[in-house]
Structure 1
Amino acid sequence: MSIGTGAVLFVIGAILAFAVHVSVGFISLSTVGIILMVAGVVVFVVGLVLALRGRRSVTTSRTGVDAASGERVTRQTADSDGPLV
């Protein structure tokens, strides 16, 4: 989602910076366009890093004997350190 948002910000910024030739007294549209283009690149790179980081997980398996019944008991736990999406 953030990769697409970055691309949209970049495109809107490029349109404002290079294609719109309107004078507005209180704001410079080319400056706003450049700011949006920089923000779009930053959002795009952050989204790419989060997408390519991948998921890492650690699975721990413990085996023991139940004292009451004498049966073998296996317990597995999983800890994941994936991207927050």
Structure 2
Amino acid sequence: MGIGAGVLLIALGAILAFAVDFEVSGVDISVIGWILMVAGAIGLILVVAVWGPRRRAARGPVVEERRVYEDPPL
């Protein structure tokens, strides 16, 4: 699951939990919305925890290079 999928699950869950006023026998739509929001939040946390350190480490160390040029003789 990537960042986009986590955000999508949170948005879909919020729509189902707060905006939909629809009843299905045996199914509570608002509970499904809350479950989707929690799953999206857990997915985002996992993506940041797993991929965050790898992205920083892939850049490598910063190397500073100084060049000194002498003035030509007059």
TM over 0.5: yes
Runs of 4+ in 1 over 3 A off after TM superposition: none
Aligned residues: 56
Gapped regions of structure 2 (runs ≥ 5) = 59-74
Q: What is residue 28 of structure 1 aligned with on the other side?
A: 28
Q: TM-score, normalised by structure 1?
A: 0.60
Structure 1 unpaired stretches of 5+: 57-85
Tell me which residue corresponds to 2:64: none
Query: Quick one: distance in 2 between partners of 1:48 and 1:19?
Result: 29
* Aligned counterpart, 2:68: none
* TM-score normalised by length of structure 2: 0.68
Task: Report deviation, 1:51.
Answer: 2.4
Which structure has more helix as a fraction of its residues?
Answer: 2
Distance between the aligned counterparts of 1:45 and 1:30, measured in 2? 23
RMSD value, Cα: 1.5
Partner of 2:50: 50
Structure with greater strand percent: 1
The structure, 1 or 2, with the larger RCO (C-alpha pairs under 8 Å, 6+ apart) is 2
